Amino acid sequence: MKTIDALVDKGDPALPLLQSWIAQAGVRCELLPPSEERQRILLELQVTTHSLLGTAAYETGGLLVDHGWLRILGSGHPALLRNLVDWNEDRSASFLLVADDVIGGFFALNGGAFGDDIGSVFYWAPDSLEWEACGFGYSSFVEWAMSGALKQFYAGHYWEGWEAEVGAVHGDKCYNFVPPLFLSTQPPSPRSRRLISVAEQYAVNMSFSEQLSDPPEAG
């Protein structure tokens, strides 16, 4: 186990890089101040602040990107209580949940659960309930999230007036849709949505995923 002094890189931390990305971001991005738990979070993660992941854990309470549509986890903050360590407890197995969005999608770093592409980011898409490879690691994920590519990624999921509505949503809440996004409607019809906790939505996704993967019973 590395000590906190060994993990806090004072010579070449990634915080200035993160701050420069925020300053040049193509979308609104808010860096939340770190919590008093940041040393514990960094110690449990055992990553240095030379990395973007270590910087997110130690130097931020999290990041709210594009009016809070995307939430990148850090050490926790009143506006985003979940942190990188406690949020993963009893939820992740061979991956690390690092971010999520307001429509019930989750981003995770692969630790072996999704194959040999260790350290790559995968997205648990709410419109398929499949873990999809994003094609980059954590640092590139953070940079990508602050670019215009985010709008392209979520094209088709926005609704009129979403900015003001999503901007008022707490970072530990997300929308639950009826019918679920992974179910198509014939003919196409509007979906209703309501706010629930991100923890509840994660459990809902797990339940649906297990039901869809269960083999049919013999008749």
Separation of alpha carbons 145 and 28, rounded Å? 10
As a whole number, mean pLDDT of residues 115-123 equals: 96
Residue 218 included in any domain: no
Q: Is the pLDDT of residue 190 over 90?
A: no
Residue 62 included in any domain: yes
User: What percentage of the chain carries pLDDT values higher than 70?
Assistant: 95
Confidence of residue 68 (pLDDT cuts 50, 70, 90): very high
pLDDT digits (tens, 9 = 90+) for 154-184: 999 999 999 999 999 999 999 999 999 998 7
User: What percentage of the chain carries pLDDT values higher than 90?
Assistant: 88
Q: What is the pLDDT of residue 215?
A: 46
| Lowest-pLDDT range of 78-87, 107-116, 143-152 | 143-152
Residues 68, 169 contacting (CB under 8 angstroms): yes
Q: What is the pLDDT of residue 217?
A: 44
List the domain range (segments joined by +) for residue 28: 4-213
Residue 219 included in any domain: no
DSSP, residue by residue, the chain: ---HHHHS-SSS-SHHHHHHHHHT-SS-EEEEPPPTTHHHHHHHHT--TTSHHHHHHHH-SEEEETTTTEEEEBS-BTTB--BTTGGGTTT-SSEEEEEEETTS-EEEEESSTTSS-TTEEEEE-TTT--EEEEEEEHHHHHHHHTSTHHHHHTTTS--TTHHHHHHTS-TTEEEEEES-TTS--SS--PPEEEEEEHHHHHHHHHHHHHHHHSPPPP-
Q: Is the pLDDT of residue 193 over 80?
A: yes
Q: Is the pLDDT of residue 115 over 60?
A: yes
As a whole number, mean pLDDT of residues 5-33 equals: 97
Residue 46 included in any domain: yes
Separation of alpha carbons 93 and 81, rounded Å? 22
Q: What is the pLDDT of residue 211?
A: 87
Number of domains comprising the chain: 1
Separation of alpha carbons 16 and 181, rounded Å? 38
Sign of the torsion formed by the C-alpha atoms of 42, 45, 46 and 47: negative
